[in-house]
Amino acid sequence: MQKASSQDMDWMLQAMLRMYGRGGKASEDETGERRMFHGQGFCMELIEGFGEAEEDMAGLVFLSGYRPKKLFICPGKHAGFTFQALETGAIPENGNMENLREELRRILMRSDRKTVFYEEGQVSGSIPVFWFDYKSFAVDERVYNLMFLFQAGESLILGTFYCIFQDYDRWKPEVLRVLKTVREESEYEDQ
């Protein structure tokens, strides 16, 4: 397999990972049934079965040398979440997340004109989460991606969910459901 280049779909994500901080951990709640990711100023429920990937596994998923430090994948390793906190300067002064979401779409389109965009929306929970989904192409596979962003305290968080394209209809409703669980990390710690 080849290393990712500026023509690959994960190039934009990887470029952002080089520039911005990371951190966080997954844990079980008091019942031991639900897994939560918390760190970077926010927490959210994880889909059942998803766990944090070790660095060597991240290397198998992201061929580029610049890969997420925090990657949560399903047991079959064909679907996962990534998160990163963007620098303070990336937060829109007027708080207009729709404009930032549109700029992310433009960046993706410039990096690969084959990208196919579908829907966009906002999930309202404790914190509003703005998202859009699209199809990208990697090596020999079509990939479904749902990119989302939200502000948690002073942090602007950019996340992605990805899976093999043929499974998108199974995963999309579940991903939108867990995005409703996003809240400030301090709310998680107070429980």
Tell me the per-residue pLDDT of 17-60, one tens digit each, with 9 for 90 and over.
Answer: 333 333 344 444 444 456 777 777 888 898 888 877 766 555 55
Tens digits of per-residue pLDDT, 78-130?
A: 899 988 887 666 555 666 889 889 999 999 899 888 899 999 999 988 899 99
The reported pLDDT for the residue numbered 191 is 53
Cα–Cα distance, 104 to 109 (Å, whole number): 9
5 has pLDDT over 90 = no
Q: Domain for residue 61, yes or no? A: yes
Residues belonging to the chain: 191
Cα–Cα distance, 53 to 73 (Å, whole number): 6
CATH number at residue 54: 3.40.1000.10
Q: Domain for residue 5, yes or no? A: no
- Domains: count for the chain: 1
Q: Domain for residue 149, yes or no? A: yes
Q: Domain for residue 123, yes or no? A: yes
The reported pLDDT for the residue numbered 24 is 41
DSSP secondary structure letters along the chain: -PPP-TTSTHHHHHHHHHHS----EEEE-TTSS-EEEEETTEEEEEPTT-EEPPHHHHHHH--SSS--S-EEE-TTSSEEEEEEEEPGGGS-TT--HHHHHHHHHHHHHHH-TT-EEEEEEEE-SSS-EEEEEEEEEETTEEEEEEEEEEEETTEEEEEEEEEEGGGHHHHHHHHHHHHTT-EEHHHHHT-
Q: Domain for residue 41, yes or no? A: yes
Q: Domain for residue 136, yes or no? A: yes
Q: Domain for residue 2, yes or no? A: no
Tens digits of per-residue pLDDT, 156-187?
A: 888 999 999 999 999 999 999 999 999 988 76
Q: Domain for residue 1, yes or no? A: no
Tell me the residue range of the domain where 142 lies. Answer: 10-189
9 has pLDDT over 70 = no
Cα–Cα distance, 144 to 167 (Å, whole number): 8
